[in-house]
Each structure stands twice: as C-alpha cells, then as structure tokens.
Structure 1
C-alpha cells in the first residue's frame, strides 16, 4: 500500500467499518454489488438532476455557482475523490454530498471533512463548512469543518495505511446492525458466527 493514493470513500468506509477498505485492497475479491448500492447510485443521479433546477436556499446561500462531480486531489495527503457538488461563492468553497439516509453519522462527517481538505488543496481556499444533503428529507445539514475533524481525517489515513501495510484483518465494526446489508458480510465468518 506504500505510495498508493487512497480515496475519500476509503476514509468513510474505514470509519464505518475498517474491514471494508481492507478487503478492497488486501484480498483478491470482486466487490459484490448489493441492491442498496444500485439504489444509491440511482438516487445520486436523480438528486443531481433535481439540484441543477433548485435555488441555493436549502444551503442558506443567495448566490453561487454549482459544479457537479468535481474531481479533487491532494498529493500531500495522497488522497483523491470525486464529490457530488461544490458551491463556489465569492467568499467560500462549500463541498456538498448527497446522502440517501435520514441522519448524518461520524463516517459522513469524516467524508465531508476529507473532501473539504481536498477542496482546499485543489481550489487554494480555506473551507470552513460542508453540507450533507439528505435526499429522503430534502434537507441540507451543515457540517462545520473544524481542526479536530481535520486531525481525525489524518488519523484515519494513518490507520488505513498501517492496516494495509501490515496485511492484518482489522476488527469489525462494533455496530453489528451495519453488517446486515454489507457487501462483504459473507467474508466475516467471525461476525456471522457471533465471534469477535
């Protein structure tokens, strides 16, 4: 794993369950596609089409330019990602991710912080906030991008790289409900049998 770039999706998945990126990089597995993943892709496409017709009122912004599917990269972080949308105003650069969920978890906040850090590198401007747009509720949730969140993203990147370089299977998420719809569930024999 040394020398390879990671993705913002890896960061989000590591926080959700550290086994997901481990399986992706360390095991020769074809990534299974679940019905939830297909539905999520359709929802993203639909949200982007609707977003282009809306005002920026949901974000509390009167004027700004929206760019969709923006590729971001930081050589310093060795991290890349493609964000759903970035809003550019004269004062700010604001990352936005569409989420097919009713709430914003730590993994979503960490993902947005990682995108904010990439946007800073790509656009050469400080990012102080981001938004998760919850598509079921049609509501934007503001996420402050703090120094603590930036530090947490750096810590996750270190953990990810260390886990992959050691080639040692990390422990599963402590939130077993997450295992139910996971595309890698069948590879986690210790979780399926109730072990640790």
Structure 2
C-alpha cells in the first residue's frame, strides 16, 4: 500500500471522484483559475498577522510530516508551537470554512500527534475573509481522520464512489470535462 497525502484526503472530502479520476483512471486534471489563485497567497504577510494574533513560541514553515504506521503524509503551511501544544496552520485563499479544508487540517493534527507532539487544535487562515478558524482536535477527530482514510483507500483500490455534489462545486473542477454532471439540476448522483 502506498503513502497517501493530506492533499489526497482534502480532494477526497471535496469530491471522491477527483481521486478516482486522477489515481485510478490516471486522467490528467486541467489547471483551473481557482487553483492558480490559491497558489499566489502571500504567506509572509499572513505570518506577520499570526505572530501578532497567536504569539507562537516557535514557527516551522512547510514541515514534512509522515506516519509510517498509517502510511500518510502532509506538508502544512506552518506548524506553530503555542504555550501548551502544537498546532498546524494552513492558509487558504478563500472566504470561509469548508469541510475539505477542515479534514486536511485534522490530518495535519493527526500527523503531529503521531510524531509525539501534543495537539489540541488545528488552524485555518482564510485570506479573502481575513478569518482564523480553530479546528478542535481530540479523540473524536482522530477517529474521523481514520474513517476518512479508510474511505479514501477504498477509492484508491478502484472502488467507484457514490457521489452527490452541489453542481456549483463542479464548475471549477479540473475533471469537469470527464465527469460532465447534469448542470440543469441542483445536484447530481453517481
């Protein structure tokens, strides 16, 4: 079994079909405008804001985190040492909290915990909304991560996922041309 990444998990939570198209059918994803914009975030400016807000004792940029036991890895934008714990921080170029971003940060928290660090929360900073979201991390969230990883691995083994998505998610998808959801409806079912 190969190592899966936090980005794989984020994509799986957003829409499992993206994992199926990329990893099972080996289709090439087109780069969308939304992807390009997300890569242009000024992380130094954000770090200055966070130093004033959170007052971390230590900041690690882009650490490579891995759990060989669970065969999963990830690279958060930052890991912050706070007073009593460590927190992964991911920066997103959007307005507000999304389920796939939350899952990604929970996996980073899981990976930090696996490395022996005490983790009580993950953090997501949304640039456009200028908001910092705290994502609690505990036993329940750990179980959630393991459940999501199980589902992701089933798709990676070739199981066709059953998907129900709002069509608005599909418009900017890099696999839109392969998937072609029914745009006249509010959602589509696979």
TM-score by length of 2: 0.89
1:132 to 113, 124, 128: 124
For the residue of structure 2 that corresponds to 1:42, the secondary structure is coil
Alignment of 1:168-187 (within 5 A): 168-187=159-178
1:147 paired residue number:
139
2:27 to 22, 26, 29: 29
For the residue of structure 2 that corresponds to 1:77, the secondary structure is coil
C-alpha distance in structure 2 between counterparts of 1:53 and 1:173, whole Å: 40
For the residue of structure 2 that corresponds to 1:169, the secondary structure is coil
Q: Deviations along 1:61-102, whole A, 9 cap, x unmatched?
A: 334111111111001111001110011135211100001121
Provide the alpha-carbon RMSD of the alignment: 1.9
Q: Deviations along 1:34-87, whole A, 9 cap, x unmatched?
A: 1111111012xx1x12134345233xx334111111111001111001110011
C-alpha distance in structure 2 between counterparts of 1:119 and 1:152, whole Å: 16
1:147 offset after TM fit, Å?
2.0
Moved over 6 A (4+): none
CA gap 1:187/1:63 in 2 versus in 1, 3 angstroms: closer
1:70 to 51, 60, 63: 63
2:112 paired residue number:
119
For the residue of structure 1 that corresponds to 2:76, the secondary structure is strand
Asked if structure 2 preserves the Cα contact closer than 8 Å seen for 1:6 and 1:79, the reply is: yes
Q: Which runs of 5+ in 2 are unaligned?
A: none
CA gap 1:27/1:192 in 2 versus in 1, 3 angstroms: farther
Q: Deviations along 1:2-44, whole A, 9 cap, x unmatched?
A: x11100111111111111111121112222111111111012x
C-alpha distance in structure 2 between counterparts of 1:185 and 1:143, whole Å: 30
Q: Which runs of 5+ in 1 are unaligned?
A: none
* Aligned: 1:82 with 2:80: no
